[in-house]
Amino acid sequence: MKAYLSKVKIDVKKVVLDSGAVVAGVGSRDRLAMAPPSADMDYCLKGAQSCIIWAYAVPFEVLKNYFGKVERVSMKKFSYYAYTTGWATAERIARYIEDNSAFKALPVAPNGVYRGAGGKNVSVNHVLDTERAVPPFSLRYGAVAAGLGHLGWSGNIVTEKYGGSLFLAGVLTTAPFEPDPMATVNHCNKCKLCTQVCTTGFFSQIESEPPVIIGGVPQVYSRRNAQLRCAIGCAGFTGLSRDGRWSTWTPGHVCLARLPERRMTGRYAKYRIMLPKFFSPLVPAVQRRFNKNIRDGFRLAGEIANFGLLPLDKISPRCGLCSLVCVADPRQRRELFELLRSSGKVYLDGQGREVVRKVDASGRTTEYVPPQEQH
């Protein structure tokens, strides 16, 4: 049996790497025994013994265009590729394991689904309604258990060769594969650029969450503020830097990082923040239409509850900067941050097109219309 499982593991890794993944590994149930509930494999697949986790790395040229506000269509296409390929590959592997053994296997949705009350899964809309939404199975925790790397200050996985600018995918299985060795060195150098690129104040610069123990190793990452901050900012309703000089890919110029935490928490926080700032009649009509598109996208993502099945026109990246900035080379990470800081802000023109406006050090303003989404 051992030899057979080891052959299946080799086959499975080959399928993963052939799909374009840059790293892949296998983790065991034991290593996740002391991690938080979202590492509990039984929630998704009773009796699961192993997680197979892999990742797709975002090309640096795509990142430069995204951070520098040259264009974001390449990021949109890469996100679509990574989510759909990750999901299709996970389905293929799960089928392969079940067809070639007596073990069960389950593909894990790469994003867009969360644990609800009574053991039921709920959609992405839930992240706007709850203090802490957790996925059915945390691919990040699984990635640490599978030896891909450690959790960085951002809470994202940081790998040796590709940093944390990654899209994860995975499969759970009852097959007791031999786990891969855990990563020994933590490649997060605590540069904290992940917190500096976040316009919403989601992360603490100094304080950490209680450590998460995976494979006996404590994983330490930043304390989180209200999840609503990231839900609003990552979706793209708003994203303005504290100094007001640059935005994420959104014309919403409310700086959530400046809002005190008490305003971002509590049962009606979503309505308190979103209705007046993004949907009131005082918000220009063209921007309300933009916000409505985001809200509709959220609803559709909620119905599908799996980013691996979203059509291209519904993938519309506007932030995600905390993980994307974290490329492996610290100089390139700094380069992305500097590009962002001088990238200006996004506005909408009368036709609803995105316009980038930058003011350089001498006060000269440049304005241009970057390539738009075709949908």
- Helix H, strand E, coil C: the string for the chain is CHHHHHHHHHHHHHHHHHCCCCEEEEEECHHHCCCCHHHCHHHCCCCCCEEEEEEEECCHHHHHHHHCCCCCHHHHHHHHHHHHHHHHHHHHHHHHHHHHCCCCEEEECCCCEEECHHHCEEEHHHHHCCCCCCCCCCHHHHHHHCCCCEECCCCCEEECCCECCEEEEEEEECCCCCCCCCCCCCCCCCCCHHHHCCCCCCEEEEEECCCEEECCEEECCEEECCHHHHHHHHHCCCCECCCCCCECCCCCCCCHHHCCHHHHCCCCHHHHHHHHHHHCCCCCHHHHHHHHHHHHHHHHHHHHCCHHHCCHHHCCCCCCHHHHCCCCCHHHHHHHHHHHHCCCEEEECCCCCEEEEEECCCCCEEEECCCCCCC
Partner residues linked to 25 by β-bridges: 53
Task: Determine if 196 is a binding residue for ligand SF4 (CB under 6 A).
Answer: no
Considering only residues 161-180, where is the footprint of ligand SF4 by CB under 6 A? 164
Q: Of 154, 250, 287, 343, which lies in the binding site for ligand SF4, with binding defined by CB under 6 A?
A: 154
Q: Of 190, 242, 258, 353, which lies in the binding site for ligand SF4, with binding defined by CB under 6 A?
A: 190
As measured in angstroms, the least distance from the Cβ of 241 to ligand SF4 is 11
Considering only residues 198-257, where is the footprint of ligand SF4 by CB under 6 A? 198, 200, 202, 230, 233-234
The structure tokens 């979706």 sit at 235
Task: Please give the residue whose beta carbon sits closest to ligand SF4 in the complex.
Answer: 152
Task: Determine if 317 is a binding residue for ligand SF4 (CB under 6 A).
Answer: no
Of the ranges 79-87, 108-116, 189-197, 351-359, which one interacts with ligand SF4 (CB under 6 A)? Answer: 189-197
Q: Of 191, 213, 312, 359, which lies in the binding site for ligand SF4, with binding defined by CB under 6 A?
A: 191
Q: Of 54, 83, 153, 162, which lies in the binding site for ligand SF4, with binding defined by CB under 6 A?
A: 153
Task: Determine if 75 is a binding residue for ligand SF4 (CB under 6 A).
Answer: no
As measured in angstroms, the least distance from the Cβ of 183 to ligand SF4 is 14
The structure tokens 């993963």 sit at 16
Residue 14 amino acid letter: K
Q: Which is nearer to ligand SF4, 97 or 235 (CB)?
A: 235
Task: Determine if 320 is a binding residue for ligand SF4 (CB under 6 A).
Answer: yes
Query: Within 10 Å of residue 6's Cβ, how many Cβ atoms?
Result: 12
The whole-angstrom separation of Cα 372 and Cα 63 is 17
As measured in angstroms, the least distance from the Cβ of 295 to ligand SF4 is 17
The whole-angstrom separation of Cα 314 and Cα 291 is 14
Query: Within 10 Å of residue 296's Cβ, how many Cβ atoms?
Result: 11
Letters for 276-315 (x = contact with ligand SF4 by CB under 6 A, - = none) are ----------------------------------------
Q: Which is nearer to ligand SF4, 103 or 237 (CB)?
A: 237
Task: Determine if 375 is a binding residue for ligand SF4 (CB under 6 A).
Answer: no
Of the ranges 71-79, 141-149, 192-200, 337-345, which one interacts with ligand SF4 (CB under 6 A)? Answer: 192-200
Considering only residues 25-44, where is the footprint of ligand SF4 by CB under 6 A? none
Task: Determine if 326 is a binding residue for ligand SF4 (CB under 6 A).
Answer: yes
Task: Determine if 321 is a binding residue for ligand SF4 (CB under 6 A).
Answer: yes
Q: Which is nearer to ligand SF4, 64 or 192 (CB)?
A: 192
As measured in angstroms, the least distance from the Cβ of 161 to ligand SF4 is 14
Of the ranges 21-29, 32-40, 73-81, 316-324, which one interacts with ligand SF4 (CB under 6 A)? Answer: 316-324
Task: Determine if 194 is a binding residue for ligand SF4 (CB under 6 A).
Answer: yes
Residues that bind ligand SF4 (CB under 6 A): 152-154, 158, 164, 188-194, 197-198, 200, 202, 230, 233-234, 319-322, 325-326
